[in-house]
Amino acid sequence: MRKMKSLGLHPAAKPLVFLLCLGPLAALVWGAAHEQLGANPAEALIRQLGDWSLRALCLTLAITPLRTAFNLPVLARFRRMLGLFTFFYASLHLLAYGWLDMGLALGDIGRDILKRPFILMGFAAWLLLLPLALTSFNRAIKALGAKTWQKLHKLVYLIAGIALLHFFWMRAGKQNFGEPLVYTALIAALLGWRLLKALQRAKPRANAL
């Protein structure tokens, strides 16, 4: 664990994590350029960008449990970056849908969002991610105040639920729920850990009263 802590504090650690987070995008761009995304590259690009936004969200939510379980406070250095990459991939997912699927026709996009529930849920998740991304910097934390900022960023739990609903409804047409169930179990475990810790903190206070 001591070695892990020293590696996490190394000056190259953040740039390396940054490059690793860009890896999926580089792979998708390479695949699109070399016609390696299958028979429907537009759909593959849209869906894989959505998958990576959900994976980045899971990694972001995993930071605190991993930091606590393995006594690795250094992991907190990477939480903001992972959160911003969640927004980055979600934005690319939305852009790919609007551009490749809808031809950037804003009227058609608006009608499609209102007509199809799974797209509405995806758009709602992105809208909720937007204020988190815009307030992820030190100046925003100072302007809002730590308590207000923490309350705002608890929206990530709601976002996780909406993102899962978006994924489930997207797969409902083909009755393919294998992956959504895996993500549901993972996110339920991560949020369940937080709930358990909150209950443990509340118990001594209740006993004190």
| Tens digit of each residue's pLDDT (9 = 90 or more) over 139-165 | 998 999 989 999 999 999 999 999 999
Whether 208 has a pLDDT exceeding 80, the answer reads: no
Out of 81-90, 95-104, 158-167, 189-198, least confident range: 189-198
Residue 69 pLDDT: 87
Q: What percent of the chain has pLDDT over 90?
A: 68
Whether 176 has a pLDDT exceeding 90, the answer reads: no
Spatial contact of 82 and 60, defined as CB atoms under 8 Å apart: yes
Whether 121 has a pLDDT exceeding 70, the answer reads: yes
| pLDDT band for position 200 (cuts 50, 70, 90) | confident
Residue whose pair of structure tokens reads 């204020």 in the numeric block = 131
Angle between helices 13-33 and 2-9 (to 10 degrees): 70
Spatial contact of 82 and 24, defined as CB atoms under 8 Å apart: no
The type of residue at 120 is L
Average pLDDT of every residue of the chain: 90
| pLDDT band for position 12 (cuts 50, 70, 90) | confident
- Torsion angle defined by CA atoms of residues 177, 89, 4 and 138, in that order, rounded to the nearest 10 degrees: -130
pTM tops 0.85: yes
Work out the average pLDDT over 77-91.
96
174 three-state secondary structure: coil
The type of residue at 61 is L
Residue 70: HSE in the Cβ half-sphere, 13 Å Cα cutoff? 15
What letter does residue 67 receive in the DSSP assignment?
H
Whether 202 has a pLDDT exceeding 90, the answer reads: no
Here the contacts of 115-121 (C-beta below 8 Å, separation 24 or greater) are 117/169, 118/165, 118/166, 118/168, 118/169, 118/170, 118/172, 119/166, 121/162, 121/163, 121/165, 121/166, 121/169
| pLDDT band for position 120 (cuts 50, 70, 90) | very high
Out of 35-49, 112-126, 173-187, least confident range: 173-187
| Tens digit of each residue's pLDDT (9 = 90 or more) over 57-82 | 999 999 999 999 888 889 999 999 99
Residue 136: HSE in the Cβ half-sphere, 13 Å Cα cutoff? 20
